[in-house]
Amino acid sequence: MAATVTNVEEIRSRVILGEFGVKNVHTTDFPRNYPGHDDSWDKQKFKKNFRMDIVHLDESSIEFDMVGIDAAIANAFRRILLAEVPTMAIEKVFIYNNTSIVQDEVLAQRLGLIPIKADPRLFEYRNDVEESAEEEGSEIDTIKLQLKIKCSKNPRASKDSSDPQELYLNHMVYSRDIQWVPIGNQADVFSNSSIGPVYDDILIAQLRPGQELDIIMHCVKGIGKDHAKFSPVATASYRLLPEITLLEPVEGEMAERLKRCFSRGVIDLEDINGKKVAKVVNSRLDTCSREVLRHSDLKNLVKLGRVRDHFIFTVESTGILPPEVLVMEAIKVLMAKCQRFLNELDSPDME
């Protein structure tokens, strides 16, 4: 009976990586599926089991664990980060002069993909009516940027030089050359923040003497679902927590080979009575290579699994918003979706 209970618990909570396939990939914890297990939805039980743990946080990325949720919720959270957290991006490009070799439409696309450092929470969405009635936009929904630069010869350059860096002035156009032009009271409202490109060293175009760019750009608020340029993350992904179990002691040369089968830091060797014995140190570092299953004398000594409700999230920001703010904004979007769904259920039309 104990073996049966253990088997059932493994099916419900673990994904097993076998030699010829992956087992327990389907969700099975629905009510009355297993005798003796109450898998009905319980809000208090969910609140008790659910947790979020921040593992790593810096200026551009965050790694955190979400424990106690279903894969559907984890994936919804990932998709919201990719496509539904709003940002500001260049939407309209007015090219007054472009004598570079870059075509206008290509140049406009390059400019649109430059991440703009501006807090989208301080702006409103711009609708189609406003756009047609007032092309310039207003201080509450539009950021105006300007790129005006002309290449010329360097009068101080050596006659024998062939280096463009020495021969020409302003021949490399970078994102740092884009200037913010405040609209209305924006200069006062955003006096403590510097609006402009997130990164200064994004190459836009290369010019030669006599060539110039004179461009005005309008940034508006949008979401990645409309265009990828509005996506606030460079990447947002998750994986299940690895679980590696040694079924029998592994010693000597076999332990050495076992260690080499996994990523660095997963398996370590300890000295016990003069013998090197393998032990699992940090299964979190495993990359799911399954290399150990290629060794006939090792594959039956190790069990590879994944914890079904433990998700390791990695979110890398484009720099528009800090990664921890992106996570909070994604949670707010998910909460708003849930509330909208509940409101629809309570509406008279559903009766």
Per-residue pLDDT of the chain (351 residues; tens, 9 = 90+): 333 445 778 888 889 888 888 888 887 777 777 777 777 888 898 899 999 999 999 999 999 999 999 889 999 999 999 999 999 999 999 999 999 999 999 999 999 999 999 999 999 998 764 444 446 788 999 999 999 999 999 998 888 888 888 999 999 999 999 999 999 899 998 888 889 999 999 999 999 999 999 999 999 999 999 999 999 999 999 999 999 999 999 999 999 999 999 999 999 999 988 889 999 999 999 988 889 999 999 999 999 999 999 999 999 999 999 999 999 999 999 999 999 999 998 887 755
- The one-letter code for the residue type at 262 is F
- CATH architecture, domain 8-83+236-247+301-312: 2-Layer Sandwich (3.30)
pLDDT value, residue 28: 76
Structural tokens at position 244: 């590696």
Cα–Cα distances in angstroms (integers) from residue 243 to residues 15, 246, 287, 303, in the given order: 9, 10, 11, 8
**Token code pair at residue 252:** 């000597």
**Rg of the chain taking only CA atoms, in angstroms:** 28
pLDDT at residue 2 in the model: 37
Q: What is the pLDDT of residue 1?
A: 34
| Cβ neighbours around 93 below 10 Å, total | 19
Tokens linked to 180: 């913010």
Contact residues for 341 (Cβ-Cβ < 8 A; gap 6+): none
Return the CATH superfamily for domain 87-231. DNA-directed RNA polymerase, insert domain (2.170.120.12)
- Rounded Cα distance between 80 and 329, Å, is 9
Instruction: Return the domain boundaries, the chain.
Output: 8-83+236-247+301-312, 87-231
Quick check: 197 and 178 in contact, CB under 8 A? yes
Give the pLDDT confidence score for residue 351 in this predicted structure: 55
Q: What is the pTM of this model?
A: 0.85
Question: Degrees (nearest 5) of the Cα angle 292, 294, 298?
Answer: 50
Beta partners for residue 92, in sequence order: 218
pLDDT at 4: 42
Report the alpha-carbon distance of residue 54 to residue 83 in Å, rounded.
23
